[in-house]
Structure 1
Amino acid sequence: MMIKKMDWEAGEWLNKPLSARIEDQFLKVVPEKGRDFWKKTFYGFEYEDGAALLADWSKDKAVEVSFQLSSFTELYDQAGILLYHGPGQWIKAGIEINDGIPQLSAVVTDGYSDWSLAAVPEWAGEEVTLRASIMKDAVIIRARTRLHAWRTIRVARFPYPAGNQAGPFACSPTRDGLEVTFTRWDFTEPDQDLRTDPTEE
């Protein structure tokens, strides 16, 4: 499988975090408390100011982001991958602490947000990889760890053939002090089928 490993410095911040530094080839991000991505639904508020490092994303490539879960301890601590078409048209998917445990989380937004969760307490402390691949008018979002196989967590409408960006995001809506260690950001071959796992490196 051909992989283009991204240089962290090749991306551009949609919104800058409180701090970001490269250490041992990893990207360590401290998001600013109170920032997030969410549009209207249920809560009524609107946020599109979370920290996200993005690069152009063509539909003939999948995008993968990996990060470590060891620092996730508080409600709504979150990180993963942001798929961004423009204001009000984006998807964030990753791990979020909810009910005291890690949850696979996806927020799909087109003017309004919807939110889905799937508990993965057995993933606590691991390195997680999120993957997104465009197929037809949709995006397939998968996740895995080194110890747990790929899981398809969402198939969502994403009908934008061009003008898309993707990359790592981190948010800490309710507390100071979260630091997320991102270990990898790649563009690679897209999924070939909904029911076929991606080829491993």
Structure 2
Amino acid sequence: MNNYSWINQPKIFKESSNKLMIQTQKGTDMWQRTHYGFQRINAPMYLRDVNKKRFVYKIKTKFNSNSLYDQCGVIVDLDQNNWAKFSSEFENDQFQRLGGVVTKSGYSDWSTQNISATINTIYYQITREQNDFIVAYSFDNIDYYQMRIFNLAYGNFLDTIGIGLYACSPQGNGFKANFEVLSMQPKS
């Protein structure tokens, strides 16, 4: 995976061409202040810098999460106080939460929808249009459904952003999160 670099590099990972496996560690998370009060920005993130103003980024996640809030997905990163993550989060044996966190000025929000606990593969697509981002998900890489539209810059000009993969285990002892970068294409 050319042009990617670590923030919070995990102890165990394996990389080959367009694929990555992260073994998560207990106590890792991405969250800022809202509702729970704590700040944690120690999840492993594998990011590439992108200064294109219009693109479509697609990844595939495959996971065997098993503890509360185990998660893996896609992340857009400006800095510690401004970022967005989209992932599945383990809840219990009946359902997990498919959701997104958008953090602005050091405060996170969290929007979710319940999906079956039997799902272990999810595709994500992020489309950047200047300062706006459109996030969609799919279970089959054919039919994509919009999750969220957001803006991280409050109308300020955004140049380079970090985009990539992340996984964490806020409470559990860890799991294997597998990723495949499917494409990074210009958008007309």
User: Which range, TM-score by smaller chain?
Assistant: 0.7 to 0.9
In the other structure, the counterpart of 2:57 is: 63
Measured in 1, the distance between the counterparts of 2:141 and 2:80 equals 36
Q: Does 1:169 align with 2:169?
A: no
> Aligned AA for 1:46?
Q
**% same residue:** 23
Aligned pair partner of 2:65 in 58, 63, 72: 72
Q: Does 1:189 align with 2:186?
A: yes
Q: Which runs of 5+ in 1 are unaligned?
A: 1-6, 193-201
> Aligned AA for 1:16?
Q
Aligned pair partner of 2:137 in 135, 143, 163: 143
In the other structure, the counterpart of 2:125 is: 131
Measured in 2, the distance between the counterparts of 1:53 and 1:26 equals 11
Deviation at 1:22, TM superposition (A): 2.7
In the other structure, the counterpart of 1:154 is: 148
Q: Taking structure 1 as reference, are residues 152 and 167 closer, same or farther at Cα in structure 2, changes over 3 Å only? A: same
Of the structure 1 ranges 145-154 and 28-37, higher mean CA displacement relative to structure 2 is found in: 145-154
Task: After superposition, give the CA deviation of every residue in 1:64-93 in whole Å (9 maximum; x if it has no partner).
Answer: 221113x12221110101100112100011
> Aligned AA for 2:90?
I
Measured in 1, the distance between the counterparts of 2:110 and 2:130 equals 22
In the other structure, the counterpart of 1:32 is: 25
TM-score by length of 1: 0.82
Q: Which runs of 5+ in 2 are unaligned?
A: none
SS in 2 for 1:61: strand
Aligned residue-pair number: 182
SS in 1 for 2:113: strand
Question: 8 Å contact 1:134–1:158 — kept in the other structure?
Answer: no
In the other structure, the counterpart of 1:116 is: 111
Measured in 1, the distance between the counterparts of 2:174 and 2:167 equals 12
Question: 8 Å contact 1:74–1:97 — kept in the other structure?
Answer: yes
Of Structure 1 and Structure 2, the greater strand share is in 2
Measured in 2, the distance between the counterparts of 1:138 and 1:46 equals 25
Q: Taking structure 1 as reference, are residues 188 and 118 closer, same or farther at Cα in structure 2, changes over 3 Å only? A: same
Question: 8 Å contact 2:168–2:174 — kept in the other structure?
Answer: no
Deviation at 1:107, TM superposition (A): 0.4
Q: Taking structure 1 as reference, are residues 72 and 134 closer, same or farther at Cα in structure 2, changes over 3 Å only? A: same
Measured in 2, the distance between the counterparts of 1:49 and 1:68 equals 21
Question: 8 Å contact 1:167–1:185 — kept in the other structure?
Answer: no
Q: Taking structure 1 as reference, are residues 177 and 105 closer, same or farther at Cα in structure 2, changes over 3 Å only? A: same
Question: 8 Å contact 2:66–2:172 — kept in the other structure?
Answer: no
TM-score by length of 2: 0.87
> Aligned AA for 2:59?
V
In the other structure, the counterpart of 1:199 is: none
Task: After superposition, give the CA deviation of every residue in 1:117-172 in whole Å (9 maximum; x if it has no partner).
Answer: 011217613x2111111225421111102177211011112235212110010011
